Structure 1
């Protein structure tokens, strides 16, 4: 399936939500087409380049999202909120004349549901603390704190990790492996490095 690709400096995983501001004509046109066709697009993490402008290098695994809200913002830009649906691999990509990236994607297998093991008991507590922040709370995301996928996905999105690490965590297909890596990263953050 051919879908628009939206390179960002942040990631989103299934069931996650992020607000976006659209101002470039190519993305406003993309939004109109997505709404008209009742379909989403794929958010991909930038390797190099900026979110604005034509030159961008990005990873080949991203997340198919759907638009769940849109409104005109006070600053005159168009604001949308998207929700992650499924991780996808980009099998082919190209750029239109207007600079919009397009790609053919394959949906990756859904991760197996798993309870959070006792050895990771701290991680849901960290996530609960992050969800008390007004910006996160205002996104209205539902979280199952007993589901290893949900806990790992939300921590991957919300923790202050470098983008290469976030991408590695996104690409993992084993929720328990993701939790183990997040626990290591949290211990490193708490230890100051």
Structure 2
């Protein structure tokens, strides 16, 4: 997996720098999301793996699949990826591009998992506390996992805060066995 990120990094950085210079980060991100969804389709994967298609034909076919959904600069970007046989890296490029955008905007996506629906006031207080700790704007998404007994599990990039009852019980069990 690290190899794919290594291959995707220069393309993501180039796309990010171009999009930033054009003040089009959001447009690029949304179109990269669309492209990544199309690239992930099994039929498209077969197309990309077809050795009988030239890179130019692959690019043209892919651009025609996208229709009028893409701006000209994204179409040119797809041609560059196709020429270098890197269309399959679009999901990795998207991930890296999104990380660069978040760094630029000083924001971080936070996932909060709980066994029940979290009230908006609690979610906002947690977001505010995390924002102070991480020194970034926090964008919180919530999900429900009924296997948690209580508490919350918070993921913000590499940071994981396990305040769940299940996590505390696991820590207690580990402490007792040591």
How high is the TM-score relative to the length of structure 1? Answer: 0.26
By percentage of residues, which structure has more helix? 2
Where is the strand percentage greater, Structure 1 or Structure 2? Answer: 1
Query: TM-score, with normalisation over the residues of structure 2?
Result: 0.27
